Amino acid sequence: MRLIADECSSAHVMEEIKCRIKDRYRNQANFGKALGASRKTVSRILNHGTDIETFFRICAMLEIRVISIE
């Protein structure tokens, strides 16, 4: 398991999330079902970051353990 470390940019974290979704769930629609949300909701969170609580839940589901917020 790879960790997202302090020196990573937010763009890198988002790319890592998108890669893990693709690797583990094939697409955002499948991931949305596992999350209990629509593909549109997943896309909104990943592209606009408007729901921080769900964003943290996404990170937990994808086993992203270390995130630095400045």
Q: What is the pLDDT of residues 3-54, one digit of tens each?
A: 444 445 667 788 889 999 999 999 999 999 999 999 998 898 888 876 788 8
Which range marks the domain in which residue 53 is found?
Answer: 27-63
Residue 34 belongs to some domain of the structure = yes
Q: What is the pTM of this model?
A: 0.75
Is residue 32 within 8 A of residue 39, CB to CB? The reply is: yes
Domain tally, the chain: 1
Do the domain assignments include residue 18? no
Task: For residue 2, tell me if it sits in a domain.
Answer: no
Q: 69 lies in a domain?
A: no
